[in-house]
Structure 1
Amino acid sequence: MRGAERKAFRSRSTAVAAGLLALGVLAGCSSESPAPLTKPPYTVESVRLGLVSPGDLGEGATEIKDNGHSSHVVYTPPNSIPTCPYVQRSENVEVQVEPAVEPVGGNPTGRTIVAPELVGASSLPVVTQGAVVFQNSSLVEDTMNTVLAEATKCPATFSVLGGPPTVVGDYKVGTRSVEINGWEGFAQHLVHTSPAEVNPDTYDDLVTVVVRKANAILYVGYAQIKSVGKRADSDEKVKALMKTTLARLG
């Protein structure tokens, strides 16, 4: 190969290498997570960007606002933060436990429910969610401490003996700490089994996550109906879902 040809070949090789490097840089940029849609301090409007939407669950999901208690078999105020779901229905709990805490000095987003559009068998969960935004850190700390104190009192097991058939049965509860995208709090896993004469085929698999970051407290309840014998996996699914949704909040 002559000197001029070698020089031209090296030039072409350098150009190709530079092009490949540029493509690699572009590919790396495109694979990064999208920029957050907002950042602290949060407002009621901005924190709603991190809530679960029908699009997060998939085809067949819809969203409704929880305006009242007329359709609830287990009622807590729409602006409250959950601590121990269903415990208010139990007759054998020995320690007084509040099922939810109504925050003082906060601005709530209100409660929304994202669920399948059609009632019946579905692979989609029912997500119940909301958040409260505060003006200063002391109010956030006080409220989160109150929520944690009540959640800690939630018994490991309890029973509901009377009421609608959908809530009668045995409840097992487990709680662990969580950290997701800088949001810190706890996840409470509740499994409800009905008496055999009422419903021998399925059980309720519910995980409630309550997390705090900066000046906001956010909660998500993720409920599935599982066939008896199938593994409970709401804990894994809600964590994956919240990694996606909370990434929208910087």
Structure 2
Amino acid sequence: MAAGAALVVGVAAGCSGAAPQPLAKPPYTVSSVRSGLVKPADLGKGAVEVEDGDHGSHVVYTPPNSIPTCPYVQRSEDVQVAVQPAVEPVGGNPTGRFIVGPQRVGPTSLPVVTQGAVVFESDALAGNTMSTVTAESAKCPEAFSVLGGPPSVVGDYKVGSRPFELNGWKGFAQHLVHTSPPTMNPDTYDDLVTVVVHKANAIIYVGYAQIKKVGQRADTDQKIETLMSTTLARLG
């Protein structure tokens, strides 16, 4: 999931060992929030960044101004409860959606990060929107299947969610594991964690996806927390 400007971290004058100062603080703007999003340098050598265009040719499409709640559920035929894959907020200014990852994706590649944010005129409006997003995400079933469609999405999905809090940002982390049918792709599985957090007048989402070989431990949940401890520190 776009090239960011070089970041300059301030250090308190006369204190060479002082902790880095955040690049932004509330109230947030679209540009200040973008300064804290994941950069290619955060993932490592070979990472590139592109902006996600607003087109419906994606395998799993959601509008780029939306906030994710239950990825891939719109492809499922066996979900018993009506649940939306994303919420389109009213009254917010989106940053756009950006993808940071390797040029080629595979089991041994860097992760793929899909991220964006929505900035609101007031803390209250952001808080109300976060409540809506959290309520919708709670409807996401613990398991569902995709029976038809592109081979990359067919298979079984297991979903778990937990509260997430870091640097004053609060929300949830949703862990999704996708396994393909044995006849299609028996050697790997998809390990995806989506974090949605709110602070002051902004809501940020970050999706961290890895392709893992069957038998490898699912560790995306830990890796995204390490990554966000770095990125959210840029947003005071």
Give me the TM-score of the superposition, normalised by structure 1: 0.86
SS at match of 1:147: helix
Q: Paired residue for 1:150?
A: 136
Q: Does 1:167 align with 2:153?
A: yes
One-letter code aligned to 1:168: V
Q: CA deviation at 1:70?
A: 4.6
Alignment of 1:138 with 2:159, yes or no, is no
User: 1:32: how far off?
Assistant: 4.4
Q: Residue 56 of structure 1 is aligned with which of 30, 35, 42?
A: 42
Q: Over residues 129-183 of structure 1, what are the superposed CA-to-partner deviations in whole Å (9 max), with x where a residue is unaligned?
A: 0000000122112211110111000000000000000000000000000101110
Query: Aligned pair in 2 of structure 1 residues 228, 119: CA closer, same or farther (>3 Å)?
Result: closer
- Preserved contact between residue 172 and residue 190 of structure 1 (Cα < 8 Å): yes
Residue 229 (structure 2) pairs with residue 243 (structure 1): yes
Q: Is the 8 A contact 2:107 2:210 kept in 1?
A: no
8 A contact 2:25–2:235 mirrored in 1: yes
1:64-79 map, 5 Å: 64-79=50-65
Q: In structure 1, what residue type is equivalent to 2:182?
A: A
Aligned partner of residue 171 in structure 1, secondary structure? strand
Q: Map 1:96-245 onto structure 2 (within 5 A).
A: 96-245=82-231
SS of 2:96 mapped into structure 1: coil
> Relative to structure 2, which stretch is displaced further, 85-94 or 112-121?
112-121
- SS of 1:247 mapped into structure 2: helix
Contact preservation (8 Å) 1:116, 1:122: no
Q: Is the CA contact (8 Å cut-off) linking 2:127 and 2:198 kept in structure 1? A: no
Q: Following TM superposition, by how much is the alpha carbon of 1:211 offset from its aligned partner in structure 2, in angstroms?
A: 0.1
What RMSD over aligned residues (CA atoms) do the two structures have, in Å? 1.2
* Counterpart residue type for residue 94 of structure 1: Q
Q: 1:92 to 1:109 in 2, by over 3 A?
A: same
Tell me the SS of whatever aligns to 1:110.
Answer: strand
- SS of the residue corresponding to residue 145 of structure 1 reads helix
What CA distance in whole angstroms lies between the structure 2 residues aligned with 1:121 and 1:234? 13
Q: Please give the secondary structure, in 1, of the residue aligned with 2:225.
A: helix
- Number of positions where the alignment pairs a residue of Structure 1 with one of Structure 2: 222
Shift of 1:68: 2.2
Alpha carbons of structure 1 residues 31 and 160: separation in structure 2 relative to 1, 3 Å: farther
Q: Contact 2:107–2:213 (CA<8 Å) still a contact in 1?
A: no
1:38 shift after superposition? 1.2
Q: After TM superposition, give the deviation of residue 72 of structure 1 in Å.
A: 1.1
In structure 2, the gaps of 5 or more residues are: 1-14
2:228, 2:167 → 1: CA distance? 9
**Identity value in percent:** 74
Larger radius of gyration: 1
**For residues 174 and 30 of structure 1, do their structure 2 counterparts lie closer, same or farther at Cα, with a shift above 3 Å needed?**
farther
| Superimposed CA distance per residue, residues 188-228 of structure 1 (whole angstroms, 9 cap, x where no aligned partner) | 00000000000000000000000000100000000000000
Does the CA contact (< 8 Å) of 2:107 and 2:212 recur in 1?
Answer: no
Secondary structure of 1:127's counterpart equals strand
Normalising by structure 2, what TM-score? Answer: 0.91
